[in-house]
Structure 1
Amino acid sequence: MWQSNSPEPVTRPAPGRARADRPTLLCLPHAGGAARAFASLGAALPGAARTAKLELPGHGERMSEPLSEDFESVMEDLVRASAPHTTGQYLLLGHSMGAAFAYEMGRYWSGLGRPPAGVVVVGRNGPSARRTLPDLHTLSASAFLDAVRHLGGTPPQLFEHPELIKLFAPVLRADFTISETYAPLPGPPLPCPLWVCAGVDDPMVDDPGLRNWEDHASGEVAVDWLPGNHFLLDDPAFHAYVAGILRTLPVPRTAV
């Protein structure tokens, strides 16, 4: 494992210098989140990567579809959605619950001979690390909502309107069930580079937990602490971190 230094600030390509063969960044959201959570990241990296924001069933633009509390069924859905993006150079990036999906999808596509250039996991302890907070998905309805409110990251107005609670509480409950009951799927560890990061004020991770990712990857693993809390996707420091990762990727041989 290596310990990487803080990434350089985001530098935008000069006019006409954006790579025509830029990699695809496949993004997977946190519990209760939607693909739009990565909108600012995509806007910050216009010349460095194509951002493909994967939507889970029952979320965001797919809100009308049935929810699932089963990790593997959601994973199958995401594998189908990601397939068109895995023929060229790509990375997987997952935040919190999405980090578990990014890791498992990296293993899946690697096993089929279409490995990602790397996987980025954000704000989640390793698969076999202890959790820093007690499980929430088993709490009563009122206690569950209170705990989610305390974590932050959910618009405050949601808790002020019964119609919004009725709409989004099942989404949150299903996602926390998936996230808190996840265990690594059978098979070899992730063979490609793995970047691990979290905010220094994130209550859902700790240093031993982040370093637990070492035990689940056979390639190089980098661990970084960034400014911010659990919800850091809109922070410039996070954008700079991802931009720094993208700059390390080799230009594919087939590039022109």
Structure 2
Amino acid sequence: MRRDEIAGNLTAVRARIDAACAAAGRAPSEVTLIAVTKTYPASDVEHLAALGVTEVGENRDQEAAAKAAAVTAQVRWHYIGQLQRNKCRSVAGYADVVHSVDSVRLAEALGAAAEKVRETPIEVLMQISIDGDAQRGGVPAAGVAEVADAIAARPELTLRGVMAVAPQDWTPDAAFARLAEVAARLRAGHPGADLISAGMSGDLEAAIAHGATHVRVGGALLGMRAPLR
């Protein structure tokens, strides 16, 4: 039964989180698990919710919008994929948290879209570029203050912290240590921006060691994905 399979995987993932927290001297309650459900059906989201996992991440708007409309369980939707300005209105309609704002223009577009389609602010994490490679998206270190101020200036958005993916040519420890430094500087100017979204199935332990408050786990929870088309 699919729910039993997911339950077994969830037990294993939670054990990893608990062990990583113990090693880092942190409480497991400090780390929130986001189940990344891209390419998986809405029924898997229902199973996760029944098992107590109510933070759900999606990467592509077309799939996410349809899934959010189909799911009846009470979950919080996290949009974690690269966001284009022409998708802001759709994403603002269902996402409770957006992890991938990486420019002033995108912050302004998302805020303007949210003003039209929702009554409550969207929580926003700035996507940080660990290595400065513009091709992968993310705010370079030099631009963090400007983008943070642009997000904070929009009443439709609430700046909550940072997100990053470890570059393939960096060790997770080095990448997440760099992210922790950026996060600390951000909090100096924006004390409420205290969330760090970092770590996935393969590197969640390193992320937790460096202060991650949210880990984004897909394959370890739900199994091998179907190929993206």
Q: TM-score under structure 2 normalisation?
A: 0.33
Whichever of the two has the greater Rg, that structure is: 1
The structure in which a higher percent of residues are helix is 2
Which structure has more RCO (C-alpha within 8 Å, separation ≥ 6)? 1
TM-score (norm 1): 0.31
